[in-house]
């Protein structure tokens, strides 16, 4: 393990919710919850104001509404979050060629590999500069942890939240880890934590005291060895710059179980098309088509079919998914469907249509033909206006959906640059002057545009920076941070 704290962990603060607050002046300082709003939805992110009421990520949305009934509940805008993430990742790659993204809002960086830092002082300067540049480019805040290993850098960033920087000095690692919960260590989830607790082990110090042999007996050979090493602050995992994509998939959970077999088939076809769009967007193709079905009783079935060669053809994927669905009993209802492609390659085999067994009839065309034969006209579909999504009105300009229902949609007209809340208007859902719109950028200043476009670090003079409300910089030992383990993968790596 290295002797200088040159591994950086960045975690954006309440990322989805903070992005929504930044783009909607009326929500700044208010409780905001982002996630699925249906009966089976879950919380993706809660703002710090919402967390005061006990709302947390992965919580059922119904429970969140009971805890914080007056919060703003918004549907995620993943395209918007992804665009901000790309700006942040560009800033990280300007620091080092070894950047390991864990999600849209979280990444490890090997500062030593990019010669951005070589000791504690240079690492601290790089971390402080990064936080300032993220704020300049995106208007958002991120917390930075610096340490000699990935595990400790992650712990440091948790301690730094929100909007701070914590550096763990070399030599202080054991003293820092000792009193912390066993759940702090990567790979220790609820089940392993409970197992260790029943054995009388609740802190990292107690893991070290138990000894390697006892841990192997309790949790198995591989996990026991790694757990003991981490309790001694030994983490040799390198920063991995790239990971090989193993599969591409999409899935939907339905608010109400689907019982109609024809509709189940139509949903599978729609998911297959979405999966292929994502596959093509990544420049990939695949040989194995996978269908996932979760039934009314929560039982989950997975079926797969391997083709003769890789494909990115939507017709081939649809046909394979339909054949897989034929083998699944959906009696009683379906609550989740998913379609995926694995066995990925960066080329396609063109002559795959012969694999279709017999004549395939597109279900959409079949349904349309049945409607024409019966003389029935399809009822007009009401336009959907997801809460929190962007709209534009020809008379009032840019705004976002506060809510909709009963043929009406309520819109607040405001932009990220507005100093205060905008005005609210209600329209018919079919109002021809109201249209969906793309999100507006959070920062339009020249410095922000330059940082986002070029990936160059831009440090604004102090008088031009927006002050952080609760910024903190520390090198003190952390206490009781939560732990989320990183993912392993291949590609360029840093030295331990």
Residues with catalytic function: 106
Tell me which H or E stretch contains 411. strand 408-413
Distance between CA 319 and CA 461 in Å, rounded? Answer: 59
> Tokens 């960045």 map to which residue?
10
Nearest-angstrom CA–CA distance, 278 and 172: 45
Beta bridge partners of 291: 303, 339
For residue 42, which of 336, 439, 385 has the smallest C-alpha distance? 336
Name the DSSP class of 480: S
Q: For residues 414 and 199, what is the distance between their CA atoms, to the nearest angstrom?
A: 56
Picking from 340, 344, 345, the residue whose alpha carbon sits closest to that of residue 320 is 340
Cβ-based neighbour number of residue 495 at 10 Å: 12
Q: Which two tokens stand for residue 368?
A: 């349309």
Q: How close are the terminal C-alpha atoms of the chain, in Å?
A: 5
Q: Which helix (H) or strand (E) holds 129?
A: helix 120-138
Alpha helix ranges (H) inside 300-355: 314-326
State how far the Cα of 405 lies from the Cα of 385, in Å rounded to an integer. 9
Burial class (CB in 10 A: 0-12, 13-18, 19+), 351: exposed
What is the side-by-side order of every strand in the sheet holding 99-103?
99-103, 106-110, 7-12, 142-147, 164-167, 472-474
3-state secondary structure of 464: helix
Compute the distance between CA of residue 276 and CA of residue 272 in angstroms, rounded to an integer. 6
366 three-state secondary structure? helix
Which structure tokens are listed for 468? 């952080």
CA distances, 47 to each of 32, 40, 238, 385, 482 (Å): 5, 21, 32, 23, 17
What are 285's strand-pairing partners?
345
CB-based contacts of 315, cutoff 8 Å, min separation 6:
353
**C-alpha distances out from residue 471 to 13, 249, 294, Å:** 12, 39, 45
Contact (CB, 8 A) for 194 and 188: no
Nearest to 124 by CA among 138, 145, 141: 145
Rg (CA), the chain: 25
């Amino acid at each position: 393990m290295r002797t200088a704290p040159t591994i950086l962990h960045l975690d954006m603060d309440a990322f989805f919710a903070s992005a929504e607050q930044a783009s909607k002046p009326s929500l700044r300082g208010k409780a905001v919850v982002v996630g699925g709003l249906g009966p089976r939805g879950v919380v993706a992110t809660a703002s710090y104001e919402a967390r005061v009421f006990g709302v947390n990520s992965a919580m059922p949305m119904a429970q969140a509404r009971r805890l914080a009934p007056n919060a703003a509940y918004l549907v995620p805008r993943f395209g918007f979050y992804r665009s901000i993430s790309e700006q942040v990742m560009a800033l990280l790659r300007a620091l080092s060629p070894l950047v390991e993204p864990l999600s849209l809002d979280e990444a490890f960086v090997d500062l030593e590999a990019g010669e951005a830092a070589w000791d504690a002082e240079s690492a601290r300067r790089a971390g402080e500069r990064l936080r300032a540049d993220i704020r300049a480019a995106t208007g958002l805040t991120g917390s930075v942890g610096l340490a000699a290993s990935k595990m400790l850098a992650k712990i440091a960033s948790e301690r730094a939240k929100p909007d701070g920087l914590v550096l763990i000095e070399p030599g202080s690692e054991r003293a820092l880890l000792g009193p912390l919960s066993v759940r702090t260590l990567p790979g220790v989830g609820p089940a392993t934590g409970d197992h260790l607790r029943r054995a009388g082990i609740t802190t990292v110090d107690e893991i070290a005291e138990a000894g390697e042999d006892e841990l192997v007996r309790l949790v198995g050979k591989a996990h026991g060895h790694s757990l003991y090493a981490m309790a001694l602050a030994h983490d040799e995992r390198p920063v991995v710059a790239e990971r090989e994509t193993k599969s591409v998939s999409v899935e939907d959970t339905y608010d109400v179980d689907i019982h109609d077999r024809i509709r189940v088939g139509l949903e599978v076809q729609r998911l297959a098309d979405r999966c292929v769009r994502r596959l093509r967007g990544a420049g990939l193709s695949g040989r194995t088509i996978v269908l996932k079905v979760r039934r009314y009783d929560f039982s989950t079935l997975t079926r797969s079919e391997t083709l003769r060669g890789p494909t990115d053809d939507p017709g081939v994927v649809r046909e394979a998914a339909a054949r897989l669905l034929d083998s699944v009993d959906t009696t009683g209802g379906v609550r989740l469907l998913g379609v995926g492609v694995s066995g990925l390659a960066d080329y396609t085999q063109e002559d795959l249509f012969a694999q279709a067994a017999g004549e395939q009839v597109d279900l959409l065309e079949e349904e349309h033909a049945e409607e024409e034969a019966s003389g029935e006209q399809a009822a007009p579909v009401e336009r959907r206006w997801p809460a929190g999504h962007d709209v534009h009105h020809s008379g009032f300009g840019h705004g976002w959906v506060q809510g909709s229902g009963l043929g009406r949609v309520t819109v607040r007209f405001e932009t990220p640059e507005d100093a205060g809340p905008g005005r609210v208007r209600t329209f018919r859902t079919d109002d021809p002057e109201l249209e969906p719109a793309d999100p507006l950028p959070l920062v339009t200043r020249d410095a922000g545009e330059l940082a986002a476009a070029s990936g160059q670090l831009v440090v604004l003079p102090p008088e031009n920076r927006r002050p952080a409300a609760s910024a903190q910089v520390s090198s003190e030992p952390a206490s009781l941070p939560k732990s989320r383990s990183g993912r392993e993968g291949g590609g360029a790596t840093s030295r331990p």
